[in-house]
Amino acid sequence: MRHSFNYTVLSGRQSQTKADDYQTAIIPPSGAEVLTQHIKKHFFFILLSVFSGFLFTSCINEPEFPQNTNEGNFEALWKIIDTKYCYLDYKNINWDSIHLVYKNQVDSTLTDRALFKLMGDMLAELKDGHVNLYSSFDLSRYQNWFTDYPDNFSSILIYSDKYLGDNYHIAGGMRYGRIDNGNIGYIYYGDFSNRFSDTNISYIFNYFKNCKGLIIDVRDNGGGYLDLSEQLASYFFTKETITGYIQHKTGDGHTDFSKSQEIKTPAHKTLQWQRPVVVLTNHMSFSATNSFVVRMKLAPNATVVGDKTGGGGGLPFSSEIPNGWMVRFSASPIFDANMQQTEWGIDPDVKVDLEVADELNGIDTMIEKAIEIIKK
């Protein structure tokens, strides 16, 4: 679901009432009605004068409408984050100080590209992979979100003959096959934007019916649709379970949030994998993938193996600034079942890295650990 609001709402500007709304029918008066009409006429004049004065006063007191200038666009962007971004206090970000630093660099001589870079740099202070600025010529993003962590993933390994090889199957964006001499089912799912159906999952589970367990590899899955993370998790639950909570902004203050609302993971009515399942993660497991891992931490027979996920626990919203550029940002914080923030990622149950020596020998350390856990 896409949510958005615009800078007109943000500025508090109200739409003006149409003149047509105040039109009245004029009926020729009879003799006895002349005096009454005369009194009504003067009363209407007085009322109109008072109403006009109210409109005039209201216009004077309206917040200044953001202008399509360098300064106006900068202020509009800063204000959106100040009033709608959900992690300023959680991350101990002094947004007022950041405003001063970057505002001093804004002037009317900046080109569009220079202004875009400046505002993108300001947004990078949030250290949030869900924060982007979109223009017709560029997309800003937080560059260091993934670069400070080991890859812990090699597509060369998973498509080698030791694992999937060349004879894997594809269903609903999932690449799957049997590994470890047919004893273990393995699925690589690299994008929660690739939709799958119950029919896809039914065929996959049937293909693995003689396997001791299943590996779901979501390393390097940068996210996608949240409903798919719920759907995929539902196949591994035997009953509906509270797996997290969400809050929503209720005002412009940094701590103005609604009461926590439960996030439940349902159990699929007909498709339930009740043997061991291992979920493989790395720091590139982000956003909807992060949500999937949060749910799977509470699934029966499930073990999360690998590296800490990349996080991205805030539900993203979008807004527009006066020049038409769009900004996406985290607006609603999501928590796990223990009311712990999920923005910075989820720790695995078993921490394992892809060892360089193993990789050189064609071995995926993390897949081998998953096999070991399933065979116990």
- Convert the pLDDT of each residue in 229-265 to its tens digit: 999 999 999 999 999 999 999 999 999 999 999 999 9
In the chain, the amino acid numbered 328 is: R
Residue 32 in any domain: the answer is: no
CATH of the domain at 102: 3.30.750.44
What per-residue confidence (pLDDT) applies to 146?
64
Residue 134 in any domain: the answer is: yes
Residue 315 in any domain: the answer is: yes
User: Residues in the chain with pLDDT < 50?
Assistant: 1-63
What per-residue confidence (pLDDT) applies to 59?
40
- Shared domain for 216 and 128, answered yes or no, is no
- Shared domain for 226 and 88, answered yes or no, is no
- Shared domain for 171 and 125, answered yes or no, is no
Q: Which helix (H) or strand (E) holds 290?
A: helix 288-296
Residue 8 in any domain: the answer is: no
Exposed / middle / buried, residue 55 (Cβ in 10 Å: 0-12, 13-18, 19+):
exposed
Q: pTM for the complete prediction?
A: 0.81
Rounded Cα distance between 341 and 50, Å, is 53
Work out the number of other CB atoms within 10 angstroms of the CB of residue 11: 16
Residue 37 in any domain: the answer is: no
CATH of the domain at 219: 3.90.226.10
Q: Residues 67-105: pLDDT tens digits?
A: 999 999 999 999 999 999 999 999 999 999 999 999 999
- Shared domain for 95 and 161, answered yes or no, is no
Distance of CA 272 to CAs 267, 276, 277, Å? 8, 12, 12
What per-residue confidence (pLDDT) applies to 144?
77
- Shared domain for 231 and 137, answered yes or no, is no
- The domain in which residue 92 lies consists of 70-141
111, 141, 171: which is the final residue of a domain? 141
What per-residue confidence (pLDDT) applies to 149?
80
- Shared domain for 281 and 174, answered yes or no, is yes
- Shared domain for 127 and 188, answered yes or no, is no
**What backbone phi and psi angles, to 5 degrees, belong to 93?**
-95, 125
- Shared domain for 109 and 81, answered yes or no, is yes
What per-residue confidence (pLDDT) applies to 93?
98
Work out the number of other CB atoms within 10 angstroms of the CB of residue 190: 20
Residue 23 in any domain: the answer is: no
Any bridge partners for residue 244, and if so which? Answer: 263, 336
Token pair of 68 as six digits: 């399509």
Please give the tally of structural domains in the chain.
Answer: 2
- Shared domain for 136 and 211, answered yes or no, is no
- Shared domain for 226 and 294, answered yes or no, is yes
Residue 358 in any domain: the answer is: yes
- Shared domain for 197 and 327, answered yes or no, is yes
Residue 7 in any domain: the answer is: no
- Shared domain for 169 and 106, answered yes or no, is no
Q: Give the torsion through C-alpha atoms of 108, 109, 115, 121, to 10 deg.
A: -100
